[in-house]
Chain A
Amino acid sequence: FNGAAHLVRADDSDAATNRRRRPAPPGYLDEQFSQVEDLQDETSPNFTEEVVSLFFKDSTRLMTNIEQTMEKYPRDFSRWDAHVQQLKGSCSSIGASRMKNECTSFRNSCGAGNIESCMRSLQKVKGEHAALRQKLESYFQLLRQAGPAGMAIRHGGM
């Protein structure tokens, strides 16, 4: 992660133009995260962090649901898939692209009725979840340390 490498010029207020100059690189987050950040303003100065917090609360609950469902309903792949679909939707809403991709793999494993593959996918999803949490915690810490200039730092390095 190197948010500082993608500093936006502080005097350039056109966020959309800046995104075009620095397309979101493949990584933990995609363009949707920029859309969320763009919704932050003086009336909701912590909006992005609040949404991220909601995401981690929601996704942790959903992953627990998935594990419990896999235990309680062995081989009920459609039931597992329904929960993974919810998690994938949540990932999509904040632009958590790597985690979303692992959810897609998980759903494919459910569709194939492959238990071992589902188990591996679950572990990968959990791994991406933990990694994303760490990345975002670092990101927000960086923004706080940067103060007002932090608004100019985008997520490009993630």
Chain B
Amino acid sequence: MSSVGGAVVAAAAAAAAGGGGAGTPHVLAVDDSSVDRAVIAAILRSSSFRVTAVDSGKRALELLGSEPNVSMIITDYWMPEMTGYELLKKVKESSELKQIPVVIMSSENVPTRITRCLEEGAEDFLVKPVRPSDVYRVFSRVLR
């Protein structure tokens, strides 16, 4: 992983967010798999993002309701009770949250699934296992 490149992305995003006072971009990672949560959080932290990792869409919405400065959401697609797609829809339907970019992750490369998410407003769709280079590519574009 280019941690230097990732740090540049994070710094640029912080600057875009309003200068030095805005701090490090805060990414919300959502995945019911503890393994995937650990890995995606580590990838994001290696790119100098501040990360909060939660295990469900419900917890993600709870956090979004109390934490005003989430810069981006990266969520697994297939989760029990609330899928990543359903979370995406709720975010995009909310006047307070709809500006937050959402990236979907999935272990399955299903074209109809990808299309559906992109049409609903997802910024990108990453196939697992997610690599640091995937995160760098997407986040550098979205948070520029």
Contact = CB atoms under 8 A, between A and B. Distances in A.
Contacts of A51: 35, 38-39
Contacts of B33: 58, 86, 89-90, 93
A41 interface: yes
A143 B35 CA distance: 21
Contacts, number: 54
B90 interface: no
Interface in A40-76: 41, 43-44, 47, 50-51, 54-55, 57-58
A154 interface: no
> Chain B contact residues (Cβ within 8 angstroms of A): what range?
10 to 19
B128 A93 contact: yes
A101 interface: no
Nearest to B37: A54
Contacts of B131: 35
Given A38-B1, A89-B128, A94 B107 contact: no
B86 interface: no
Interface in A57-116: 57-58, 85-86, 88-90, 92-95
Contact of B128 (A43, A44, A47, A92): A92
A11 B131 CA distance: 25
B139 to A, nearest CB: 16
Given A58-B33, A93-B128, A88 B107 contact: yes
B42 interface: yes
A55 to B, nearest CB: 5
Contacts of B39: 36, 39, 51, 93-94
A55 B35 contact: yes
Most chain B CB within 10 A, of A47, A55, A89, is at A89
Given A50-B38, A51-B39, A55-B35, A92 B46 contact: no
Contact of B38 (A38, A43, A54, A92): A54
A151 B78 CA distance: 35
A58 B38 contact: no
Contacts of B35: 51, 54-55, 58, 90, 93-94
Interface string B17-41: 0000000000000000111101100
Interface of B: 1, 33-36, 38-39, 42-43, 45-46, 78, 107-108, 128-129, 131-132
26 contacts: A35-B129, A35-B132, A36-B39, A39-B39, A39-B42, A39-B132, A41-B46, A44-B42, A47-B38, A50-B38, A51-B35, A51-B38, A54-B34, A58-B33, A58-B35, A85-B107, A88-B107, A89-B36, A89-B107, A90-B35, A92-B107, A93-B33, A93-B35, A93-B36, A93-B39, A95-B129
